Amino acid sequence: MTPLTRYLPILTWGKTYQRDTFVSDAVAAVIVTIMLIPQSLAYALLAGLPPEMGLYASILPLVAYAVFGTSRALAVGPVAVVSLMTAAAIGNLGLTSAAEIALAAGTLAFISGALLTVMGVLRLGFLANFLSHPVIAGFITASGLLIATSQLKHILGIEAHGHTLPQILGALAAHLGDVSLATLVIGVAATGFLFWVRKGLKPLLLRLGFGARAADIIAKAGPVAAVAVSTLAVWALGLQDAGVKIVGAVPQGIPPLTLPSFSPALWNDLFLSALLISVIGFVESVSVAQTLAAKKRQRIDPDQELIGLGTSNIAAAVSGGYPVTGGFARSVVNFDAGAATPAAGAFTAVGILLAALLLTPLLYFLPNATLAATIIVAVLSLVDLSILKRTWGYSKVDFAAVAATILLTLGFGVEIGVSAGVLISIALHLYATSRPHVAEVGLVPATQHFRNIHRHKVETLPHAVTLRVDESLYFANARFLEDYVSARVVCDEPLSDVVLMFSAVNEVDLSALESLEALNHKLKDMGIRLHLSEVKGPVMDRLERSHFLQELTGEVYLSQYDAWVALKR
């Protein structure tokens, strides 16, 4: 792979682009466009931005991803969690001017895009591995609950603000006497209809004789139908005069060319939020992309995905949008609809562009309650409280991490929640590796295999102890091993040899080396020799560059069986 094709994947799949591929991509684009139009408007509302910014964020970013992304099915655009994080980030600035808010949103996208792109160029995609899946699942579940709750004000037609669950519930309770009956009817009807469309419309159409593809397209158009019917109802009945809040005038035309702010003060205020949005967006996006790629035996490049998402966010920043990432629901729809290449995203961008050019005047009477219903139905599919039960049964540590992430996100907001999630993920890794499993092993009779003396019937040597270390050794666990061995050799049996079986040790850092040297001297003073067995090549190379092997009181054996034979008396 040449550097040019690595950074421009379009040069690879573009060479084999054919008519059949075009047809598959075009059909997928039609379905995703139908789904994306109401979602884009709704997620902009969730982010506290003008609805047209949702459309703008669904045009040029998709083209950028088609050029730089590696997933054949990932659909980039506004998503619920990132929209909520955008609202929280901008809300912290205390801005009141619509122009200032839009500029801050674009700047947030630009900073996020720059961070992602730099991380991709530096090949830092592996950093996503430091976020544990249970923590991410807990954060997304809490965010889904927070988002759904925050949209109840639009369903009820009341004013209620807040970024945490207690704040939102308190504000809703304080304004229950101001509920708009007309808005409530529209919101409840739209929510019920969309839930039914999601679960029941496609099976009904199939029973009525519709083809699978036609039934799928009609079912995906459910939100469009809700938008059309509720908009017509408001217009025909004049419900805006009865207290129903509507979208109002949406600018018609192509996305404007915009520049982010380069104010140091604004960048300082937005940097942490942009970093968190980048991390969560990338983890969500790459997880979806890898899952879908595996189904077709394809692969993605996480480092290039960083660049793809980074350029998409930069494209959003210069075209009047706000932060974007790969959406789970849209990507699955794109995949199921037959998208064969990233060109499907570019075709979707054309569809959204046509909507921005031709359809925006029709959205004037669109009630906010319908957009809120669209958000609620979409995000509740992300809520998975069963993760609590699964982690409780499997690992109490993981359960504590999930529960803490959920509670912190609900109680203190998404930024605190995701920050805590990152810290908890790192803490879990450090905790798990700081107390490595060390098993005392013996020889399985009539074999050359060694197993845990507490799990199997094995032979042991009365004067020797063999300890299998089941973790790489580094600064966080080096002292643990030293203390473990020191405690084990203090016994009534006269010991002369200790063997550390290094078959599972892939790394020994300088702190661990110093700890091994200290252990070697401590055992020497006790008249006990220290041996190593089954040391891997890279670890041995590192040890040979130190004085440890010259000072080692025992030997280094190729296999544990060789050590057994040599030490057996």
Closest C-alpha among 242, 118, 222 to residue 179: 242
> What is the tens place of the pLDDT at every residue in 55-97?
999 999 999 999 999 888 888 999 988 998 999 899 889 888 9
Mean pLDDT of all residues in 501-523: 94
Print burial letters for 258-291: b (CB count within 10 Å at least 16), e (below 16).
bebbeeeebbebbeebbbbbbbbbbbbbbbbbbe
pTM, two decimal places: 0.80
* pLDDT band at 217; cut points 50, 70, 90: confident
Q: What is the pLDDT of residue 536?
A: 95
Q: What is the mean predicted confidence (pLDDT) over 145-170?
A: 89
> Over 70: is that where the pLDDT of 569 sits?
no
pLDDT confidence of residue 531: 96
**Residue predicted with more confidence, 546 or 293:** 546
Where does the pLDDT of residue 130 fall: very low under 50, low under 70, confident under 90, or very high at 90 and above? Answer: low
Chain mean pLDDT for the chain:
89
Return the ∠ at Cα 436 (arms to 430 and 441), rounded to 5°.
170
Cα separation, 118 vs 97, in Å, equals 32
Phi and psi at 530, nearest 5°, equal -110, 125
In the chain, % helix, strand, coil (3-state, to 5) comes to 65, 5, 30
Report the pLDDT averaged over residues 217-226.
81
Percent of the chain predicted with pLDDT > 70: 98
Q: Is the pLDDT of residue 295 over 80?
A: no
pLDDT top residue among 228 and 1: 228
The residues, ordered by sequence, that sit 6+ positions from 146 with a Cβ below 8 Å of its Cβ are 84, 164, 165, 168, 409, 410, 414
Q: What is the pLDDT of residue 415?
A: 78
pLDDT of residue 33: 87
- Domains of the chain in sequence order: 19-375+385-428 (no CATH), 438-567 (3.30.750.24)
- Nearest-5° angle of CA 409, CA 410, CA 414? 35
Cβ neighbors of 534 (< 8 A, separation 6 or more) are 501, 502, 503, 557, 558, 559, 560
Q: What average pLDDT does this structure show over 209-226?
A: 81
Lowest-confidence range among 184-193, 195-204, 217-226?
217-226
- pLDDT at residue 423 in the model: 82
Is the predicted pLDDT of residue 133 greater than 80, yes or no?
Answer: no
DSSP, residue by residue, 31-44:
HHHHHHHHHHHHHH
Q: Say if CB 184 and CB 155 are below 8 A apart.
A: yes
Question: How many Cβ atoms are within 10 Å of 503's Cβ, its own excluded?
Answer: 14
Question: Out of 346-350, 352-356, 414-418, which region has the weakest mean confidence (pLDDT)?
Answer: 414-418
Residue 1 has pLDDT above 70, yes or no: no
Q: What is the pLDDT of residue 2?
A: 64
Nearest in space to 306 (alpha carbons), one of 114, 119, 72, 58? 119
Listed in sequence order, the residues at least 6 apart from 365 whose beta carbon sits closer than 8 Å to its beta carbon are: 231, 232, 234, 235, 240, 246, 247
- The residue-averaged pLDDT of 159-178 equals 89
What is the pLDDT confidence band of residue 206, given thresholds at 50, 70 and 90? confident
Residue type, 467: L
For 4-23, write each residue's pLDDT tens digit: 777 788 888 888 888 888 88
pLDDT of residue 496: 92
pLDDT of 538 > 80? The answer is: yes
pLDDT > 80? residue 337: no
Q: What is the arithmetic mean of pLDDT over 361-379?
A: 89
pLDDT over 70 (residue 3): no
Q: Per-residue confidence at 517, pLDDT binned at 50, 70, 90? A: very high
Tell me the average pLDDT across 470-490. Answer: 90
pLDDT tops 90 at residue 518: yes
